[in-house]
Amino acid sequence: MGYQVLARKYRPQRFSDVAGQDHVTRTLLNALAQNRIAHGYIFSGHRGIGKTTIARILAQALNCRTEIGSAQRPTPEPCGTCDACSEIRQGNAVDVIEIDAATNRGIDEIRELRDAARYSPARDRYKIYILDEAHQITEAAFNALLKTLEEPPAHVVFMMATTEPENIPQTIRSRCQHFSFHAVKFDDILAQLKMIAGEEKVDAEDEALALLAEAGDGSMRDALSIMDQAIASAPLEDKRPRLSTEQIRELMGSVPSTVFERLLEAVAAGQSAPLMEQLNVLLNAGHSPLSLARQMVRYLRNTLMAKLGGEQTELLQISTDERARAVRTALLFTEEEITRNLQIVLRTFDDLNYRQEQRFHLELGLLKLIHAQRLLPMEELLSSVAGGTSARTAPAGTAGPRVSPPTPASTGTAAREPGGWSATPPSRTAPKPESRPTMSRPAAAEPAMTARVAAPELSPFPAAPAAGFKPAEPITEGALAVAPEAAAAAELNVESVREQVVSALGEAGHASAAQLLRNGAWRLETTAVQVSVPGIGKKMLVLTVNAAAEKVVRQELQRLGAPTRFVVAPGEGAAPAGVAAAPAAAAGSVQEAALNHPLVKRAQEIFKAEVRSIVDLRQK
Ligand SMILES: [Zn+2]
């Protein structure tokens, strides 16, 4: 006999051999024992989980010529040896007709079938029709079939196997017994693979078989066909094929999940550079971005399930080692973070299908994981402000910064009230014990704090020239991070701080930065020194108060005992050519035309957005 693929060679011949569908086989065996046979069965579920296999076993059991209860056939399981059983197994039984509905789906084929069904079986007890992919049958053809199911001849049994039971008309479904098949469990597939490896005399590493079982993803047939492929390409040792983990990974183009564990550790630690380096190694080794994204989705999904259900959850269909790994990774994140990470990687995976520069999209996707992690506290903060409760930074009874959304309005207020303190009653603050590390330092835990400085306004507007800080992103954890020098600020005079910083800048040779800051509106917060500079765009501001100048400022602030967090942002006023602060566009200017353009207005409406700046590129 020629080579037979494993899935066929080891196709179960008895109900009790079918893995993972006990709920179906138990019911069918009972029905057979009681001789309660329906005229229509629907077997539904994913591909490769035993639907047609069970249909064939049922056909054998129905037509088996050996009496149930006899010595050769003590149970309703088919005897497997009589003519009927062996013919059905070989696929040449006259009374068992298998039809692939994917190709024979039309009205003519079904009419033919219906007419033939009227005649008695040629030899055996039942005339059995097994319709594979039954959902593909056309509506007209189903109607033709319905007539037979409404008044079925006593000898006819229809068995429909389908992956999409919802696409079978209700009129048909209601006349059939419906069995919904389960995905085969990882352990069941693994046990079957182990058994087959033994039978086939294949030396297989446990982890290699686990990989195959996992790749099957609930489908026994898929797992077996990958195993076929793996055995065919396996090296021989003592004339026995040897399946190694390495080889299977290569075959499937998959990377060890330790890789994803490491990648996510880098994400949890916020380390962009190592993340990109690891990704680079993988891509250089020839792994496609699409396949990496797909595997990462899978890994994150397992991590999420481990987070939700713990190591032993049924939701994880992976080996013990992999379970432990998923749990380790789950410990690095909150449930929300994993969910968000999964969402980001899923979206990246979707995007990759349509993109040219796949590598860049994957890199961007992974970097987003890190950025999203940083942004979370801000989201929470803003939503808590919007909801009328205060920021979570402060413990009860002490003061915390009141945070307002980053709107130009708040910047404007800052400009009009230089150095203005706004006291807020402590009742606005509420305890939030589970603060994240980046946000959790108490703003003003010092008991010496007076009511005068209790709750200064803190607008998270951009800290433009900070080293390593992108001015394009106004919101970062950094802008809200709380400095310990808070209390000292109370004794400082904002005017003298301004004078000393400006003169330090002048001495250090930063004349234009000094000039700009002298004209700015200064505010001394418990946690930061804020300057809002009128009449300048953000880009110009960043160029002028550059990193070197900011270093001078911070050194001076430290010397003075002021908070060293220094935040400078554009304030109200006319902007230099090319960069306009939105609300102040000059009449008749391009900026005004843009602001009043219906498209822009509509976009503002839709997104409830505001225009920050309008750049006229022609004036570059
Ligand atoms: Zn038999």
User: CA angle 483-382-471, nearest 5°?
Assistant: 65
Tell whether 447 is covered by a domain.
no
In the reported structure, the alpha carbon of residue 12 is separated from the centroid of ligand 1 by a whole-number distance in angstroms of: 15
| Cβ 163 vs Cβ 45: under 8 Å | yes
In the reported structure, the alpha carbon of residue 91 is separated from the centroid of ligand 1 by a whole-number distance in angstroms of: 14
R_g of the chain, CA atoms, integer Å: 36
Q: For residue range 107-141, what is the model confidence (pLDDT) as tens digits?
A: 888 888 888 888 899 889 999 999 999 999 999 88
Query: What mean pLDDT is reported for the chain?
Result: 79
Looking at the fold, whether 313 and 234 belong to one and the same domain comes out as no
In the reported structure, the alpha carbon of residue 154 is separated from the centroid of ligand 1 by a whole-number distance in angstroms of: 21
Looking at the fold, whether 22 and 128 belong to one and the same domain comes out as yes
Residue 210 has pLDDT above 50, yes or no: yes
* Residue 132 bridge partners (DSSP): 100
Looking at the fold, whether 42 and 175 belong to one and the same domain comes out as yes
Q: Is the pTM of this model over 0.75?
A: no
% of the chain with per-residue pLDDT over 70: 77
> What is the distance between the alpha carbons of residues 512 and 137, in angstroms, rounded to a whole number?
79
Confidence tier at 101 by pLDDT (50, 70, 90):
confident
Element (DSSP H or E) covering residue 161: strand 156-162
Tell whether 391 is covered by a domain.
no
What pLDDT is stored for residue 9 in this prediction? Answer: 92
In the reported structure, the alpha carbon of residue 126 is separated from the centroid of ligand 1 by a whole-number distance in angstroms of: 13
Q: For residue range 540-562, what is the model confidence (pLDDT) as tens digits?
A: 777 778 778 888 888 888 888 88
User: Which of 324, 354, 377 marks a domain boundary?
Assistant: 377
Looking at the fold, whether 507 and 484 belong to one and the same domain comes out as yes
Looking at the fold, whether 111 and 32 belong to one and the same domain comes out as yes
What pLDDT is stored for residue 532 in this prediction? Answer: 86
Q: How far from the centroid of its chain's Cα atoms is residue 216's Cα?
A: 21
- Domain span at residue 606? 579-619
Tell whether 403 is covered by a domain.
no
Looking at the fold, whether 346 and 482 belong to one and the same domain comes out as no
Q: For residue range 211-242, what is the model confidence (pLDDT) as tens digits?
A: 999 989 899 999 999 999 999 999 998 889 99
> What is the distance between the alpha carbons of residues 489 and 563, in angstroms, rounded to a whole number?
7
Tell whether 76 is covered by a domain.
yes
CA distances from residue 158 to 14, 98, 175, 276 in whole angstroms, order as listed: 20, 10, 11, 57
CA distances from residue 547 to 71, 246, 250, 515 in whole angstroms, order as listed: 92, 50, 48, 16
In the reported structure, the alpha carbon of residue 197 is separated from the centroid of ligand 1 by a whole-number distance in angstroms of: 29
| Cβ 603 vs Cβ 564: under 8 Å | no
Tell whether 397 is covered by a domain.
no
In the reported structure, the alpha carbon of residue 438 is separated from the centroid of ligand 1 by a whole-number distance in angstroms of: 71
Least trusted range by pLDDT, from 12-21, 60-69, 93-102, 585-594: 585-594
In the reported structure, the alpha carbon of residue 62 is separated from the centroid of ligand 1 by a whole-number distance in angstroms of: 9
CATH of the domain at 230: 1.10.8.60
CA distances from residue 46 to 27, 49, 180, 217, 221 in whole angstroms, order as listed: 20, 6, 10, 10, 11
Tell whether 383 is covered by a domain.
no
CA distances from residue 224 to 211, 234, 428 in whole angstroms, order as listed: 12, 15, 64
Least trusted range by pLDDT, from 98-107, 134-143, 396-405: 396-405
In the reported structure, the alpha carbon of residue 14 is separated from the centroid of ligand 1 by a whole-number distance in angstroms of: 11
> What is the distance between the alpha carbons of residues 559 and 173, in angstroms, rounded to a whole number?
82
Tell whether 422 is covered by a domain.
no
> What is the distance between the alpha carbons of residues 166 and 178, in angstroms, rounded to a whole number?
11
In the reported structure, the alpha carbon of residue 10 is separated from the centroid of ligand 1 by a whole-number distance in angstroms of: 19
